[in-house]
């Protein structure tokens, strides 16, 4: 079997040689003798490309894909998966926080039949309160609004089989989250819990603003429920306003205010305005129904995915 190792890199010059020689190569060679390593330089501004090129000249198993500019980690990862030619493809970061020493655990589960093997962080040792809280909030909100259940603390450190890779490459979405699309495909999954080491050098390239953007793209790409949110709010407001309005009409105008509530004109106007606001939000909900169809159509995702490895008598 041939293993493809895909590693997106952005401004990793300080630690890339140590990562390759001391961490990656021992981990890969412990898992298989037949492999290729694909580094994707995502428009780095330091000497990352120079160092990767030097590594590739010394080792024919190493390929370097240099993107013309910084396209972002998700697109860089996709570019690497596109270049992969192995029977299985494993994705990991170049900062050392995805330990290559456990690559053999991923390949072992794959050899036993798993088509997607997902690395899940055991602890958030190196994350601040805001990032950790934001992560928990994201997973709760995402799993509550989407049709997919994403395992908390799951990472991009994952192995996909050749058939999963072929289906993944059919996606044409620009604003993507790799792990979400792989999860959407389904297939047989296994999980590996791991402790994340410290970064080899430098600082994380993902800033809080970029993480927020990634989370937003996840909701937009993988869930349609936020589209209908204001429609449901409008329906709730309209219903409550209508009930209150009917009650006021009966109590004050038909029965002559036996409860002595003495609704003022301002109160009646507020109820009427609330009713109209609800109608407007419900109208937006109706528009959302049509937008959801346009959104789903424009994504161009396959109607279904066939797992050819477990099907019979098909071509």
Tens-place pLDDT, residues 72-82: 888 889 989 99
Average pLDDT over residues 217-234: 69
Q: What is the pLDDT of residue 233?
A: 82
Longest dimension (CA), the chain: 94
pLDDT digits (tens, 9 = 90+) for 280-298: 877 777 777 777 666 666 6
Nearest partner of 55 among 93, 95, 85, 15, judged by Cα: 15
Q: The tokens of 261 are what?
A: 């509530």
Average the pLDDT over each of 40-49, 178-187, 273-282, 297-306 and give the range with the smallest value.
297-306
Phi, psi for 47 (deg, rounded to 5) = -95, 20
Strand, coil or helix: 133? helix
| Percent of the chain residues topping a pLDDT of 90 | 14
Q: What distance in Å separates the CA atoms of residue 4 and residue 91, rounded to the nearest whole number?
A: 9
Strand order in the sheet with 116-121: 62-66, 35-41, 3-9, 88-91, 154-161, 116-121, 189-194
pLDDT at residue 297, as a whole number: 60
Model pLDDT for residues 159-170, shown as the tens digit of each residue: 999 999 998 988
Would you state the structure tokens that stand for residue 297, as one six-digit string? 């159509």
Residues 182-193: tens digit of each pLDDT: 888 888 899 998
Return phi, psi of residue 133, to 5°.
-65, -40
Polymer length in residues for the chain: 315
Residue 20: pLDDT band by 50, 70, 90 thresholds?
Answer: confident
pLDDT of residue 250: 77
DSSP bridge partners of 9: 41
Give percent helix, percent strand, percent coil of the chain, each to the nearest 5: 50, 15, 35
State the DSSP code for 138.
H
Mapped to the 3 state alphabet, what secondary structure does 12-69 carry? CCCCHHHHHHHHHHHHHHHHCCCEEEEEEECCCCCCHHHHHHHHHHHCCCEEEEECCC
Instruction: Give the pLDDT confidence score for residue 292 in this predicted structure.
Output: 65
**Whole-number pLDDT of residue 208:** 57
Which candidate, 17, 18, 66, places its Cα nearest to that of 42?
Answer: 66
Mean pLDDT for the chain? 78
**Tokens standing for residue 137:** 């909030």
Q: Which helix (H) or strand (E) is 273 found in, with range?
A: helix 265-299
Tell me what pLDDT residue 231 has.
78
Residue with more model confidence, 91 or 128: 91
Pairing relation of β-strands 154-161 and 116-121? Answer: antiparallel
- pLDDT per position as a tens digit, 86-125: 899 999 988 888 899 899 999 999 999 899 999 988 865 5
Q: Is the pLDDT of residue 30 over 70?
A: yes
Burial 122-154 (b: 16+ CB within 10 A, else e): eeeeeeeeeeeebbeebbeebeeebeeebeebb
Helices 129-145 and 208-222: crossing angle in degrees, nearest 10, is: 10
């Amino acid at each position: 079997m041939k293993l493809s190792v895909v590693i997106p890199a952005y401004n990793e010059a300080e630690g890339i040689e140590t990562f390759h020689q001391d961490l990656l190569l021992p981990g890969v060679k412990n898992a298989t003798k037949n492999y290729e390593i694909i580094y994707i330089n995502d428009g780095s501004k330091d000497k990352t490309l120079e160092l990767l090129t030097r590594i590739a000249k010394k080792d024919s198993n190493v390929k370097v894909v240099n993107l013309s500019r910084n396209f972002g980690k998700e697109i860089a990862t996709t570019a690497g998966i596109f270049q992969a030619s192995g029977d299985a493809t494993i994705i990991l970061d170049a900062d050392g926080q995805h330990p290559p020493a456990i690559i053999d655990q991923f390949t072992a589960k794959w050899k036993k039949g798993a088509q997607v093997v997902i690395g899940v962080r055991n602890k958030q040792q190196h994350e601040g309160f805001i990032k950790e809280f934001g992560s928990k909030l994201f997973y709760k909100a995402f799993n509550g609004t989407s049709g997919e259940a994403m395992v908390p603390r799951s990472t991009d450190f994952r192995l996909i089989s050749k058939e999963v890779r072929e289906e993944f490459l059919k996606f044409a979405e620009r604003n993507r989250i790799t792990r979400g699309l792989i999860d959407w495909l389904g297939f047989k999954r296994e999980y590996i819990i791991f402790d994340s080491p410290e970064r080899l050098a430098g600082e994380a390239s993902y800033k809080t603003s970029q993480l927020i953007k990634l989370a937003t793209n996840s909701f937009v790409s993988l869930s349609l429920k936020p589209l209908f949110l204001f429609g449901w709010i409008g329906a709730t407001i309209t219903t409550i306003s209508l009930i209150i309005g009917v009650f006021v009409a009966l109590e004050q105008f038909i029965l002559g205010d036996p409860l002595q509530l003495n609704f003022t004109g301002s109160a009646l106007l507020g109820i009427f305005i609330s009713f109209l606001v609800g109608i407007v939000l419900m109208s937006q909900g109706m528009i959302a129904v049509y937008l959801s169809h346009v959104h789903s159509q424009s994504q161009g995702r396959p109607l279904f995915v066939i797992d050819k490895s477990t099907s019979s008598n098909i071509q």
